[in-house]
Amino acid sequence: MSIPLSWYLILAAALFCIGLYGVLSRKNAIAILLGVELMLNAVNINLVAFWRYLNPAQMAGQAFAVIVFAVAAAEVAVGLALIISVYRRRKTVVADEIDLMKW
């Protein structure tokens, strides 16, 4: 294990910022969810790296990562179901045009 912890943290920070850019710059709601996936993965890299480098006998980091997996799966399922439902009614997936709750 000859890799410093900082390499993982910087990689995760870069991946998080790429995901953030995707979320803020894309118009398509599905593409926004793709950006969110990248951000969740960056968080998971951090959790697992801290588990390995700080206290591998304590499984907190990996247990947290498993919970993040479950939440990510739930988020994608509900998010995509909402997008498909909106698409069926409004014939659009552009986030700006989905303004039913705006008045």
Partner 1 sequence: MTAEQIIFILTGALVLGSGLMVVTVRNLLHAALWLVASLFGVAILYAILQANFLAVVQVVVYIGAIAVLFIFAVMLTRRELMEKGRQTRPNRWLPALLGLLILSGLVVLILSVPGVENTAAALPAGLDTVRALGTALVSPDAYVVPFEVASVLMLAALVGAVYVATAEKK
| 93/99 with CB nearer partner 1 | 93
| 6/103 with CB nearer partner 1 | 6
Min CB(21)–partner 1 separation in Å: 4
DSSP code of 94?
A: B
Min CB(99)–partner 1 separation in Å: 15
Min CB(34)–partner 1 separation in Å: 6
Determine the angle formed by the axes of helices 5-25 and 29-54, rounding to 10 degrees.
170
User: What amino acid is encoded at 16 in this protein?
Assistant: F
Give 93's Cβ-side CA count (13 Å radius). 14
